[in-house]
Structure 1
Amino acid sequence: MSTLAPEPVPADAPHPLDPLTAAELATVAKVLRGDARVTEDARFWGVTLDEDHARRAAPGETRRARAVVICPSAHLAYEVGLELGDTPRSTAWRELDVRSPGCSSEEARQAAAACRADPRFQRALALRGIHDVSLVMVDPESIGGFEPPEYKGRRLTWGSVWHRTSEDDNGYARPVQGVVPIIDMESMEILHIEDHGVVPLSQESGVFSTGVVPPRPGLRPLEVVQPEGPSFTVTGQRIDWQGWSVRVGFTHREGLVLHDLTFDAGGKGPRQVIRRAAVNEMYVPYFDTASTQYRKNFFDWGEYGAGPLTNSLALGCDCLGVIHYFDAAVLGGDGVPRVIPNAVCLHEEDDGILWKHHDGRSGRTEVRRSRRLIISAFATVANYDYGFYWSLYQDGSVMLEIKMTGILSATGVAEGEETPYARRVAPNVAVTNHQHFFSVRLDMAVDGPRNRLVEVTAEHETDPELDPYGNAARTVLRPILSEAEGARRTDPSRALHWRVESAEARNRMGEPTAYRVHLENTAVLPVREDSVCARRAPFVGRQLWATAYDPDRRFVAGEYPNQAEPGADGVHKWQEEDRSLDGTDLVLWATVGSHHFPRPEEWPVMPVARARLRLEPDGFFDRNPALDVPPPVSCHAPRPRRRAAPGRYTLRTRTPEGCLYCCTVHR
């Protein structure tokens, strides 16, 4: 069973960090359209709350925002600062390279329609037996690093092409190999149609909707019941649960954002842990020389935006239990605000054993079950679907789990064709080896704003006089004191991890209070250093980056990666300033990575693959902060009462409601 939680408590007043509302987005669009610099054919790529100002603003002070507007007929783009409130107005205009803003869904649909209307595109499809272009799908893809020199200075995209046999068909199962339209995204002109030769289309259906495959028998209901309701409370955008307090935010570029994570152990008062947490960028490079594959390297957040791609979640499907949903608002490329109902899901889950001990002398067992609070959202980027699950635990830990599912991005192959860089998953269909990198931005605030980063490794004792038995190992702590040292690599062979320490607070052992950072899933680019993907995304070459906070350095790959000069901006450039990291406002950029070797079992739809990052208290508390978690109300240890027969005995116990039941156990 899955039900909605009771209505939340309304906040006394909007919080400065609350996400922008649909009304505020409409106001921004109106202000911009009313300015003489904005043309009639204007398009928009996101409006973002000025969070730095929001954190410093006095109560009731007017909120500020930043918007990106594209003026195709003028071949111009602007980043505009705005003040909202009773008299909304623009305050600053910065001209951008017109190629820089990302592509909106509205622009993508225009580009696809332009392709279908182009006679050259239609002729290329006809050579492959496709005559009804209305069933052809075109996904405009970012072209960064592969711009044809003859189109220098244009805002470009290229199209990956797919064919459906009906409106309900899964087009991603039928890649149209060899046809590549090059599109001017300002004029929506089809500049060129590449045709690399006819490859037979797959004739196998990839439809996987309900009813296509007979359902597996024997699956009985599994009900999640919370008869007394959830243990969390929601006030406006703030969540309180089991000592945790957190605010839910949402942005055009990053989607789900968490603000101001604090933990109160034992009612001693809230302590800061993280000021802000979000998946800051997603980079997906493909490793194939095929004509429809070699260009594929996407900054899915910086070139498209997680916010507009966020799903509306369905009760009983995406989350089980007693659910609270947060809606979100985004501004479309056409300047029209859109509300995403149920964009963020909040629910609790049982998580197995939290802690346990059985005393063999007394026979007494103490056990506590773990529960976690999950704040989640799903985004669909064309064929792939990504779930982002932030979990808070009763022992003060935090985990981000990224779930990757959806449909693999395939290429068409001829019978007998070798596929050294891809794996066949169906007749005439192969999937290229590729990777998924997620940069997780963590604005740390462990017991306050002044933090430092320390790298921790296990190393054996090198002095034989100190270690006559050869089994001594030290915990080695290495402070990372400046940005020049802030690009770090993982090393499981040395149990390497990191601590974010308070520069001021100490625990009862006299150590700095701290949180430990673990990256459970990492990957390294298996490509040449001079490749486009290696040059475009240097941040994936390290698993952790550390920088001092700067309100203007918001995104790991730079503010505008679309068609930017590879490597011109981003965390690797900021570090050249070598600012101090010793007791500063510390920002971590953790790179969670997954190398995807495709499997036939992932076709035509992919079972969830997971990648994780964990933060856990490391001297932040003086002892186990979960000692106060009550025992399960249904936790009864049955004891043998009488022998039933050789090899068997009968157990008698009572349910929490007092009902006596018996069962026979075979030994």
Structure 2
Amino acid sequence: MITQCLLAALVATATPVAARPDAGFWRRAMSFTNGTTPCGLSDSAPTVKAPKANPWSSISPADAKAVYEFVHAPETGLNLTASENATLTDNYVWFIDTLNTNKSQILPYIDGNEAAPPKYARVVIFEGGKAEPVSQEYMVGPLPFSSDTTIQKYDFAFNGGKGGQVPYNGRYFDGKRSAAVQPLLKAVMTEVADITVALFDGAYLGSADKGTNLTAASTTPTSRDGETAYLTFMFRYPGLASYMTPIDLFVLLDITGTDASKYALKGYVTNERFFATASELRAAFDAGELTSEFPQTRDQTWALLDHKPETGVRDLEDRLAPQSIEIGGKRYKVDVEQQYVEYMGWSFYMAFTRTLGLQFYDIKFKGDRVLYELTLQEAAAQYAGFQPKAAGTVHPDAICIFEADDGFPLARHRSGSGNAYGFANIASVKSTTLHARTVATVGNYDYLFDYAFHLDGSLDITARASGYLQSSPYYKSQARFGSRISQGTQGSFHDHVLTYKADFDVAGASNSLEVTELVVVNQTQPWYPELGSFEQMEYRTSNMATEAQFNWAANGQTMYCVVNNNATNAWGEKRGYRLVPGRSNVHLSIRDSPFTRKSSSFLKSHLAVTQQHDTEVYANSWQNVNLAEAPQHDFLKFFDGESVDDTDLVVWFNLGMHHFTRAEDVPVTLYTEAVSSISFAPHNFNDRAQEGDLLNRRWIVPDADGVLAYDDYGVTLPTCQIELDEPATKIEPWVTI
């Protein structure tokens, strides 16, 4: 759902915070007026009718309900148990989502006169009741529901050899399996409760037991090949910041199969040692070999994101920080029903699925398609450490739309040295950007995804991470894995990597990836004979021939552009879009971890380019996390020597951060530093810079007498009144020239 995000300015009174009866909360009645117009602050976005109904939109709740009822019907032969009543040995629905519609089906509709392609639902069923229990994906459609609606296996998008099927032991670890594991976890922890109380002042006696004062957290992956399954539990002190108060205790369980009575203890880990049985652990405890070098604190106030009075208040910090206001009203248009947006020459559709989150389709600038699809494929984090949790974590995977001032002009120039009066021509063009932003909380982190549509036709994709560190108990001997951040806590060093799919259609679907290398050569120039041979730069340009994974060049000396060989601008240059690295473009550091060996190859390079196929929809499978050795979907199989020259191609790119943990990650990691970005910028896509048609500019020309002619092109600076309990105060926006 699109939520139009209003960034309105609040104005504080001059009364100091401590002296106000509202104790720091501004509750004054206020309104913003510009004559009879409310300064655009309460305006909703103007509406627009999408050119066509959104073919990527989610299935309706009614359709989802109908699908759920349909798959439970006896005639389907699925033998399903209602999810709320199911156990490990039942067949039950795990989730229902919208199935991706093939590009080959959508283009004739969106670009031509064909009917809209039918919609299908994606249904994941955990089939624990079969002789060989598995997880299987199905597709149900066409929708809306009719007599033509059927169910069939959804296999074609997965290349691991078993289609949409995953072995039971490699399937997603859901609540049913968690409940089945609890009796064993309770038993193995109760057996050593006296030890955990002595060492950590805490016990785990089962999630429902009132005597439990430790929190158990399980890890991923739970398998590497789907043949066997295991589970590692770490323990923390409960509370709002439990991620930051881990204790030095881990339990490893064998949870292979659907018969929970056969689940077994693999061992305990503490003090950097492994104990296969409770007896071994007790023997070490009785011998005095188990100690807490840096005991963990139960006090979590240091890790909360509230104001810390003991740190004081910075001068003038009791005033509200600057805010953005849309004085002239919103400058973008929205078709809420079709999830369609238009802004300053840009247009695009949005969609959402459970597995991929926010998606963008049919992104056009001034009527020309730039991207068919822009979607996040995966958000992963891999940790370093010498503990079961730290070494083996991988996290697999309301939108706000607003326009904001960029804080700098789009273009500015003072031309000439001026006339006799010292004046010169001055031009400045205001720069603003439309942001489509969403935040996803994945475990301990809040990922902020921002898509910024600029007036010049460029598009920025930015990912930021904030939240609690996945921390570990602190040991001096493990300083190589991260900084000590509190009394008994270490911030575990890790990689964040986010994989995106960018299906470019630059001026048409047939594109090439042009590689322009900046090379240094020795040359002579006859007009400089005294220089002899000297170094000079030059271009060497070619098109990438076949599918490949590759990295950004050192010193930025290679430029990658998606170009159309058959479409040129007015100067005969191939129209294209350049891939521009932004901040902190990284790929996964570890190449051969047993936890990500074959299931995460898409994370292991900055960039990749493949030929577009309807069967190569995703970089990853959401179930790959437990199948590192036998993935359901293998990205490496995309690279089979196909041409990417003058064809429909897809660019896959990674954003991410090497998170060198630090004390400043307390209480949470900061968005300012944990950020990565990339830009797509027009490269000969147009005949000139896309700023000449913008009216938000100033052109100042002096005449011979020094009189300035000031052209605002009809876009004046309105006066806006802010009405408080006190007399109204006028504010006037200021445009920097």
CA contact (8 A) 1:99 1:154 kept: no
Q: More deviation in 514-523 or 393-402?
A: 514-523
Identity %: 17
2:340–2:349 contact (8 Å) kept in structure 1: yes
Does residue 511 of structure 1 match 2:573?
yes
Q: Retained in 2: the 8 A contact 1:537–1:566?
A: no
**Equivalent of residue 354 in structure 2, options 252, 272, 289:** 252
Q: Which amino acid aligns with 1:202?
A: T
Q: Secondary structure at the match of 1:177?
A: strand
Deviation, 1:285, is 1.4
Q: Using the TM superposition, give the Cα deviation of residue 133 of structure 1 relative to its aligned residue in structure 2, in angstroms.
A: 6.1
1:51-90 aligned at under 5 Å gives the runs: 51-52=101-102, 53-55=105-107, 58-59=114-115, 61-74=117-130, 75-83=133-141, 84-87=143-146, 89-90=149-150
| TM alignment of 1:311-322, pairs within 5 A | none
CA distance in 2, matches of 1:376, 1:410: 28
Matching residue within 547, 551, 558 for 1:496: 558
The 5 A counterparts of 1:93-492 are: 93=153, 96-99=165-168, 103=172, 106=175, 110=179, 114=182, 118-124=186-192, 127=196, 128-131=200-203, 136-143=214-221, 153-154=227-228, 156-164=230-238, 168-182=239-253, 184=255, 187=258, 189=260, 191-192=264-265, 194-197=267-270, 199=292, 200-205=295-300, 206-210=302-306, 213=309, 216=313, 218-219=316-317, 220-221=319-320, 222-235=322-335, 236-264=338-366, 270-298=367-395, 300-301=396-397, 343-351=398-406, 352-359=408-415, 360-361=417-418, 362-414=423-475, 416-464=476-524, 470-483=534-547, 486-492=548-554
| Counterpart secondary structure, 2:647 | coil
What are the within-5 Å matches in structure 2 for residues 601-620 of structure 1? 601-608=664-671, 609-620=674-685
Report the AA paired with residue 227 of structure 1. Answer: I
* SS in structure 2 at match of 1:29: helix
| C-alpha deviation, 1:572, in angstroms | 2.1
Measured in 1, the distance between the counterparts of 2:177 and 2:227 equals 20
Flag structure 2 segments of 5+ consecutive residues without an equivalent. Answer: 1-6, 9-40, 87-91, 156-163, 204-209, 272-291, 707-715, 721-728, 733-737
CA separation in 2, counterparts of 1:115 and 1:555?
A: 38
Match status 1:30 vs 2:69: yes
Alignment: residue pair count: 588
The structure number with the bigger radius of gyration is: 2
Change (3 A) 1:180 1:496: farther
Q: Aligned with 1:223: secondary structure?
A: coil
CA contact 1:145–1:566 (8 Å) conserved in 2: no
Specify which structure has the higher proportion of strand. Answer: 1
Q: Deviations along 1:205-228, whole A, 9 cap, x unmatched? A: 244144665684533223322133
In the TM superposition, what is the alpha-carbon distance from 1:583 to its structure 2 partner? 1.2
RMSD of equivalent CA atoms = 3.5
Paired amino acid for 1:120? V
Q: CA deviation at 1:278?
A: 1.2
Higher mean displacement: 134-143 or 81-90: 134-143
The CA deviation at 1:617 is 0.2
- Cα offset, 1:120, TM superposition: 1.6
Rounded to whole Å, the distance in 2 between the matches of 1:539 and 1:429 is: 32
Q: Which amino acid aligns with 1:385?
A: D
Q: Unpaired runs of 5+ in structure 1? A: 265-269, 302-342, 642-653, 663-667
Q: What is the distance in 1 between the residues matched to 2:121 and 2:331?
A: 35
Residues 588-599 of structure 1 mapped to structure 2, 5 A cutoff? 588-599=651-662
Q: 1:500/1:400 Cα in 2 relative to 1: closer, same or farther (>3 Å)?
A: same
Deviation at 1:512, TM superposition (A): 0.9
Cross-structure match for 1:629: 694
The answer on whether the counterparts of 2:218 and 2:231 sit within 8 Å (CA) in structure 1 is yes
Amino acid at match of 1:71: E
Structure 1 residues 368-420: Cα deviation after superposition (integer angstroms, max 9, x where no partner): 12111111111111111101000000000000010110010001125x54422
Deviation at residue 501 of structure 1 after TM alignment: 0.2
Deviations 1:22-72 (A, max 9, x none): 223222222222233143121414523232145556435531232221123
* Alignment match, 2:24: none
TM-score normalised by structure 2 residue count: 0.72
Cα distance in 1 between the residues matched to 2:590 and 2:628:
19
Structure 1 residue 449 displacement after superposition: 0.6
Secondary structure of 2:637's match?
A: helix
Mapped pair 1:6 → 2:56: no
The amino acid that maps onto 1:223 is: Q
Question: Using the alignment, how far apart are the partners of 1:421 and 1:459 within structure 2?
Answer: 39
Q: Deviations over 1:554-610 (max 9, x none)?
A: 2223574132243754332220x2111111111011122311110100112111111
- Describe the SS at the equivalent of 1:377: strand
**Residue equivalent to 1:555:** 618
Contact conserved, 2:472 with 2:490, CA < 8 A, in 1? yes
- Of the structure 1 ranges 529-538 and 436-445, higher mean CA displacement relative to structure 2 is found in 529-538
Instruction: For 1:623 and 1:68, locate their aligned partners in 2 and report how far apart those are by CA, in whole Å.
Output: 50
Contact residue 458 and residue 475 of structure 1 kept, 8 A: yes
The Cα shift of 1:290 comes to 1.9
Q: Distance in 2 between matches of 1:183 and 1:79?
A: 26
* CA distance in structure 1 between the partners assigned to 2:108 and 2:140 by the alignment: 17
Distance across 1 between alignment mates of 2:645 and 2:78: 45
Q: CA 1:209 to 1:285, structure 2 compared with 1: closer, same or farther past 3 Å?
A: closer
- For normalisation by structure 1, the TM-score amounts to 0.80
Question: C-alpha separation between the residues in 1 aligned to 2:355 and 2:700?
Answer: 46
Instruction: Give SS of 1:539's match.
Output: helix
* Matching residue of 1:329: none
Whole-Å separation in 1 of the counterparts to 2:491 and 2:533: 53
**Which residue is 2:13 aligned to?**
none
In structure 2, the CA distance between the partners of 1:531 and 1:86, relative to structure 1 (3 Å rule), is closer
Q: Which amino acid aligns with 2:201?
A: G
How far apart, CA to CA, are the structure 2 residues paired with 1:377 and 1:134?
Answer: 37
Over 3 Å counting, the alpha-carbon distance change for 1:209 and 1:434 in structure 2 is closer
Which range is displaced more, 65-74 or 131-140?
A: 131-140
Distance 1:4 1:107 in 2: 47
* Alpha-carbon distance in structure 2 between the residues aligned to 1:105 and 1:518: 40
Please tell me the residue identity of whatever aligns with 1:130. G
Question: What residue identity is the alignment partner of 1:460?
Answer: V
CA distance in 2, matches of 1:573, 1:61: 28
Work out the CA distance in 2 between the residues paired with 1:139 and 1:89.
Answer: 42
Cα offset for 1:249?
1.0
Return closer, same or farther for 1:457/1:188 CA change in 2, 3 Å cut-off. farther
Are 2:448 and 2:464, in contact at CA under 8 Å, matched by a contact in 1?
yes
Could you list the per-position Cα deviations for residues 306-339 of structure 1 after superposition, in whole angstroms to 9, with x for gaps in the alignment? xxxxxxxxxxxxxxxxxxxxxxxxxxxxxxxxxx
Q: C-alpha displacement at 1:461, in angstroms?
A: 2.5
Cα distance in 2, alignment partners of residues 56 and 481 from structure 1: 28
How far the C-alpha of 1:631 sits from its partner, in A, is 3.1
**What is the CA distance between 1:281 and its match in structure 2?**
1.4
The Cα of 1:5 is off from its aligned counterpart by 5.3
